[in-house]
């Protein structure tokens, strides 16, 4: 493969003391806002500023179909992928509503839908091919397909950044895509497939067993490549590869990355394996109820903001978490200090 990946900027800690001093001088007991203060600190460090701002927040939801559904790993018809994406483009579905409710710009992308999308729909045509290949029998993407998908993800995010976006939520849509996500989890973390698979869109126990067997067969065929990009190419999906490229570009441009649920976390896992520095740009929006997600969370050592038993995808969890992140940033930049409020700072007693 001919991907030329520059190193992701390491988050420096030079401003930690000054940010902490600003947080501690807010009209509250030191540390009383808990995780909110941690989020504010993280965003300030990413932006290298005591006054960070979340500008033109976007949710990039990328869709593709998967030939792996031929193996019986999904109980939902593949047509739902394109039907839902067109629904989202009209403001429908959960992500259409949630994005509107929270003033997040919804950016819809076709990475590999097995359908000709209505050109009247506001969906970016980044289609690589109609559906990711069946990785039980062949590699999910050819080297060329993978590079195109990864680089198109980068290009989309770069263009958003050029238009002023510095905060991006990532989501996905794709019937059958919990299977490649589970395969990536299993291979990257060396976790047995039985622990990685779950119900996805509603599989019964016998369907979950099929999914496990599919992944075991794929690992016998493709092995455990040392190159994390090669793992993603062999086992991933077109939308997962594009998400990974988008995340990588976001970090290169020091953008805050809000990660959605199970499928999007598999892209975050891939990006982390490519360059560990990307983790400091991630905020994990929620703990998915999909079984294998907890292993992704443990491997990435991230703390989800929400725990609402979500397993929908689309970017819904990321958009739901955004108001909390926005509040954290506003707390750092707008909440009154003890001096401004003319309130006695009890923490001063410890310095007497």
Model pTM above 0.85: yes
**Sequence ranges of the chain with CATH classification 3.40.50.10210:** 58-326
Specify the CATH architecture of the domain 58-326.
3-Layer(aba) Sandwich (3.40)
CA distance 230 to 1: 9
Does residue 204 carry a pLDDT above 70? yes
Structure-token pair, residue 235: 């086992």
Average pLDDT over residues 192-221: 93
Give one DSSP letter per residue of 186-244, joined into a string: HHHHT--HHHH---TTT--HHHHHHHHHHHHHHHHHH---SSHHHHHHHH--HHHHHHH
Does residue 349 carry a pLDDT above 60? no
DSSP at 48? T
Average pLDDT over residues 270-294: 97
| pLDDT value at residue 345 | 81
**Sequence ranges of the chain with CATH classification 1.10.1610.10:** 16-52+332-351
| pLDDT value at residue 352 | 38
Q: CATH for 16-52+332-351, among 1.10.1610.10, 3.40.980.10, 1.10.730.10, 1.10.8.50?
A: 1.10.1610.10
Average pLDDT over residues 242-250: 98
- Helix, coil or strand: residue 291: coil
Going by their DSSP bridges, the two strands 282-284 and 256-259 should be labelled as: parallel
CA distances to 5, 33, 264, 279, 338 from 8, rounded to whole Å, are: 9, 30, 19, 10, 38
Beta bridge partners of 63: 110, 173
Query: For residues 259-295, b (16+ Cβ closer than 10 Å) or e, as one string?
Result: bbbbbbbbbbbbbbbbbeebbebbbbbbbbbbbbbeb
CB 165 within 8 A of CB 55: yes
CA distance 278 to 275: 6
pLDDT classification of 175: cutoffs 50, 70, 90 = very high
Average pLDDT over residues 71-94: 96
CA distances to 44, 68, 244 from 250, rounded to whole Å, are: 16, 29, 10
CA distance 42 to 255: 11
Does residue 220 carry a pLDDT above 60? yes
Number of H helices, E strands in the chain: 14, 6
Q: State the catalytic residue, choosing from 314, 334, 340, 342.
A: 314
147 is catalytic: no
| pLDDT value at residue 340 | 85
For the segment 7-61, what is each residue's pLDDT rounded down to a tens digit? 999 999 999 999 999 999 999 999 999 999 999 999 999 999 999 999 999 999 9
């Amino acid at each position: 493969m001919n991907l030329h990946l520059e190193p992701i900027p390491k988050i420096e800690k030079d401003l930690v003391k000054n940010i902490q001093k600003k947080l501690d001088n807010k009209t509250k007991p030191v540390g009383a806002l808990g995780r909110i203060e941690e989020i504010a600190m993280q965003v300030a460090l990413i932006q290298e500023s005591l006054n960070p701002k979340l500008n033109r927040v976007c949710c990039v939801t990328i869709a593709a179909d998967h030939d792996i559904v031929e193996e019986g790993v999904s109980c939902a018809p593949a047509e739902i992928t394109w039907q839902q994406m067109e629904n989202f483009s009209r403001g429908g579905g959960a992500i259409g509503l949630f994005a509107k409710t929270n003033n997040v710009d919804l950016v819809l992308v076709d990475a590999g839908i097995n359908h000709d999308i209505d050109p009247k729909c506001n969906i970016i045509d980044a289609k690589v091919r109609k559906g990711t290949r069946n990785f039980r029998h062949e590699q999910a993407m050819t080297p060329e397909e993978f590079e195109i998908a990864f680089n198109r993800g980068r290009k989309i995010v770069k263009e958003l950044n050029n238009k002023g976006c510095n905060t991006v939520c990532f989501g996905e849509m794709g019937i059958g895509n919990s299977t490649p996500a589970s395969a990536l989890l299993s291979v990257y973390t060396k976790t047995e497939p039985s622990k990685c698979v779950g119900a996805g869109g509603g599989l019964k126990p016998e369907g979950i067993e099929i999914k496990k067997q599919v992944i075991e067969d794929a690992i016998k065929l493709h092995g455990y490549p040392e190159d994390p990009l090669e793992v993603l190419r062999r086992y991933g999906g077109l939308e997962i590869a594009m998400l990974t490229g988008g995340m990588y570009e976001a970090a290169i441009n020091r953008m805050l990355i809000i990660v959605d649920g199970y499928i999007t976390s598999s892209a975050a896992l891939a990006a982390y394996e490519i360059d560990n520095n990307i983790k400091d740009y991630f905020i994990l929006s929620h703990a998915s109820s999909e079984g294998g997600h907890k292993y992704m969370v443990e491997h990435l050592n991230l703390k989800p903001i929400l725990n609402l038993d979500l397993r929908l995808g689309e970017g819904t969890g990321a958009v739901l978490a955004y108001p909390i992140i926005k509040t954290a940033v506003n707390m750092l930049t707008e909440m009154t200090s003890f001096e401004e409020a003319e309130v006695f700072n009890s923490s001063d007693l410890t310095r007497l």
